[in-house]
C-alpha cells in the first residue's frame, strides 16, 4: 500500500459520533429524532514537505471533518443512525454517507446492528477522531485496518470498505454488570480482486472493565473521559480475518489482524487532576500473496508486521479562563516484516473547553514515520522530519 505521508490525515475523515447530539425532537412516548454536527479543522507545517524545495516546510490549512448526525428511535427496540461527512474535504469537498445503521437494541446482553457501520476493531478505530484523546490519532499512528485501505468503496479488488466502515451486521452486548463487553461482526470485506469467492470478513472485539464500567453507545469507545467517567482500567482484544482478504485475483492471500489495547484513567485524590494512559499493540499477517506480486503493484497489499502506540496525559486541575490544560506525550513505532521500521515522537497540549465537544490541540512531532508514511516496500526510505499541528474541534 503506497500512500504519501500527507495523505494519512485524509483517512481520519469518517468515524461515528458517540451519542444522540444536538437537538432532540420528541414525536411521542417512543419516537424521537435528534440532529447534531461536528467540525475538525487544522493547520499543519511539516519539514521537507513543501514540494519543489526539499528544505522548505509545508504550510497546510485543512478541513478535516464536517459532519452531520441524525439519530432516531422508531420503536422501543428499534433505532436508526445516519451520519455524513466531507470525505474529500481536501479536494473541494463532497458530502458522502458515513453510517447508515438499522439498530435492534433489545437488552444489555444482545443487540443487532445492520447496514453500514464501523467494523469492530481496536479502541482507536472505535473512538474515531472526535472521541480520541489526541487530535492526530490517525495522521501519525499505527497501520490501518482493511476497511481503511481505500477512501471509497469499490468492487475492483482495491477496497474493503471506507473510513473504517463496511456493509454488514454486528451483534454486541455486555455481561457481568457491563464489565465484559463484546462485538461480533460479519462484513463484505475485500470486494472483488483476490476475494473472487466472496468470503466474509469476520471481526470481533472483546473488552473487560476492571474498575468502573465505561458507558458508550453500542460498541463505541472513548480515548478519555476527562475524569468524568470515574476510574477506568479496560483491556480490549480485537481480531479481523478474511480468507482471500489480500493480494490479487491470480495470487490471493488470507488476512489476519490482531490488536490488544489498554485504557487507564485515574482521578487523583483531592481534585489534583486526571492521569490518562492509552496503549495499543498490533500484529498483522498475510498468508500467500507473494513478494513478486507485491512489487508488481496493484491488488490489496495490507500491512504485515507489528506496531504499537502509547500515550500519557495529565489533565491539570482548575480552569485557565474557559478551559483546562492537558499536556501529553506519545510514541508510535511501526515494524513491517518486509520494510524498514519507522517511528514518531509526539508532544502536545490540549485545551479542553467542553470535553470532546470543544477543544484546541497544539502538537509537535518528530520521526521518520512522517516521511515514510504507508510505504511498506523493501525500498522505503525516509528522514527524521519535524512537524507541528494546531487543531480545533467543535461538535453539538
Per-residue pLDDT tens digits for 367-395: 999 999 999 988 899 999 999 999 999 99
Give the pLDDT confidence score for residue 6 in this predicted structure: 36
**Are 234 and 209 a contacting pair, CB within 8 Å?**
yes
Cα 94 from Cα 14, distance rounded (Å) = 13
DSSP string, 294-348: HHH--SB----EEEEEEEEEEE-SS-BTTBEEEEEEEEEEEEESSS--EEEEEEE
Stretches where the chain sits below pLDDT 50 are 1-17, 19-20
Domains of the chain: 5-395 (2.40.160.10)
User: Quick one: which of 47, 36, 224, 38 has its CA closest to 137?
Assistant: 224
Give the pLDDT confidence score for residue 17 in this predicted structure: 43
Cα 302 from Cα 186, distance rounded (Å) = 19
C-alpha 327: how far from chain center: 21
Return the SS3 of 357: coil
Apex CA 31: angle with CA 30 and CA 37, to 5°? 130
Q: What is the CA radius of gyration of the chain?
A: 20
Number of residues assigned to the chain: 396
- Helix and strand element counts for the chain (H, E): 3, 17
User: Quick one: which of 221, 145, 230 has its CA closest to 183?
Assistant: 221
Give the pLDDT confidence score for residue 294 in this predicted structure: 79
Give the pLDDT confidence score for residue 324 in this predicted structure: 98
What are phi and psi for residue 378, nearest 5 degrees? -75, 0
Amino acid at each position: 500500500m503506497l500512500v504519501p505521508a500527507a495523505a494519512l490525515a485524509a483517512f481520519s475523515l469518517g468515524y461515528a459520533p458517540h451519542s444522540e447530539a444536538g437537538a432532540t425532537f420528541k414525536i411521542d412516548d417512543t419516537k424521537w429524532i435528534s440532529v447534531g454536527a461536528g467540525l475538525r479543522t487544522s493547520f499543519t507545517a511539516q519539514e521537507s514537505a513543501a514540494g519543489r524545495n526539499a528544505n522548505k516546510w509545508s504550510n497546510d490549512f485543512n478541513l478535516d471533518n464536517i459532519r452531520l448526525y441524525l439519530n432516531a428511535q422508531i420503536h422501543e427496540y428499534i433505532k436508526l443512525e445516519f451520519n455524513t461527512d466531507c470525505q474529500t474535504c481536501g479536494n473541494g469537498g463532497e458530502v458522502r454517507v458515513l453510517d447508515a445503521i438499522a439498530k435492534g437494541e433489545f437488552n444489555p446482553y444482545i443487540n443487532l446492528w445492520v447496514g453500514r457501520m464501523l467494523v469492530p476493531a481496536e479502541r482507536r478505530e472505535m473512538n474515531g477522531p472526535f472521541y480520541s484523546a489526541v487530535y492526530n490519532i490517525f495522521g501519525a499512528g499505527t497501520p490501518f485496518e482493511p476497511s481503511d485501505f481505500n477512501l471509497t468503496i469499490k468492487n475492483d479488488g482495491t477496497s474493503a470498505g471506507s473510513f473504517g466502515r463496511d456493509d454488514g451486521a454486528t451483534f454486541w452486548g455486555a455481561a457481568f454488570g457491563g464489565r465484559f463487553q463484546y462485538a461480533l461482526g460479519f462484513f463484505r470485506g475485500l470486494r472483488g480482486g483476490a476475494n473472487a469467492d466472496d468470503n466474509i470478513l469476520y471481526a470481533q472485539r472483546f473488552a473487560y472493565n476492571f474498575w468502573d464500567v465505561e458507558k458508550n453507545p453500542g460498541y463505541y469507545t472513548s480515548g478519555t473521559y476527562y475524569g468524568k467517567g470515574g476510574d477506568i482500567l479496560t483491556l480490549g482484544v480485537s481480531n479481523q480475518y478474511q480468507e482471500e482478504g489480500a493480494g490479487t485475483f491470480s495470487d490471493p492471500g488470507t488476512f489476519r489482524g490482531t490488536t490488544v489495547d489498554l485504557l487507564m484513567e485515574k482521578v487523583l485524590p483531592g481534585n489534583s487532576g486526571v492521569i490518562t494512559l492509552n496503549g495499543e499493540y498490533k500484529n498483522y499477517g498475510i498468508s500467500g500473496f507473494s513478494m513478486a506480486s507485491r512489487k508488481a503493484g496493484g491488488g490489496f497489499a495490507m500491512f504485515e508486521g507489528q506496531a504499537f502506540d502509547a500515550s500519557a496525559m495529565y489533565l491539570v486541575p482548575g480552569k485557565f479562563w474557559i478551559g483546562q490544560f492537558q499536556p501529553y506525550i506519545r510514541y508510535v513505532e511501526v515494524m513491517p516484516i518486509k520494510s524498514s521500521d519507522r517511528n514518531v515522537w509526539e508532544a502536545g497540549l490540549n485545551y479542553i473547553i467542553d470535553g470532546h465537544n470543544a477543544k484546541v490541540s497544539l502538537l509537535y512531532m518528530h520521526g521518520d514515520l512522517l516521511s515514510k508514511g504507508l510505504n511498506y516496500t523493501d525500498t522505503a526510505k525516509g528522514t527524521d522530519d519535524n512537524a507541528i499541528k494546531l487543531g480545533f474541534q467543535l461538535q453539538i
